[in-house]
Amino acid sequence: MKSLSRLALTLTLLPFAAVAQNYNLPQPIESKMKGDVILCRSPESLFLLYEGAYLATKTLGDQVFSQYFGNAIRILTRSEECVEERQPLRVRVTGWSTIENPLKAPRGFKVYGRVQVPGYKRELYAIEENLPGLQDWMQQAIERDRANRR
């Protein structure tokens, strides 16, 4: 318990995250969302979940990861901030958000897709890695940008 208190103190003292930068896609894209995914109402909640787990692991070792991650998911789902979606689904991606983790600079940017999920009334966010359609679109956008710079 002492080590978790130390982690909580570390999280409160560090400039851990900025507010998400939000972007809209020119047109929504269809993507298959992988199964066993955490979806949240805000990208900041996903950032706290995954980047907090990263910080817990780096600070206190691998044995803390499952404890931190499991407890964080329980809290976020009980508060209805996040849901666990077990099955792969077809979703519509309408935009994305980025948040920087200054502890991982210069490669500290995380991307979260904003999605419309069948059965949910509002748009939710998923990590980019769970949205192959968004990853493909972003890769194509990067390649177009590089070609335009030549």
pLDDT (tens digit per residue) in 116-131: 999 999 999 999 999 9
Cβ count within 10 A of residue 46: 25
When pLDDT is cut at 50, 70 and 90, the band that residue 5 belongs to is very low
CA–CA separation, 43 vs 50, rounded Å?
11
Q: What is the rounded (10 degree) CA torsion for 31, 113, 95, 119?
A: 60
State what percent of residues in the chain have pLDDT above 90.
Answer: 52
8 A C-beta contact, residue 114 and residue 95: yes
- Please tell me the pTM assigned to this model: 0.82
Residue 135 has pLDDT above 70, yes or no: yes
**What does the mean pLDDT of the chain come to?**
84
pLDDT at 2: 47
pLDDT at 10: 46
If you average pLDDT over residues 65-72, what whole number do you get? 86
8 A C-beta contact, residue 95 and residue 26: no
What strand order describes the sheet that includes 89-100?
21-33, 89-100, 109-116, 124-127, 37-40, 82-85
pLDDT at 26: 93
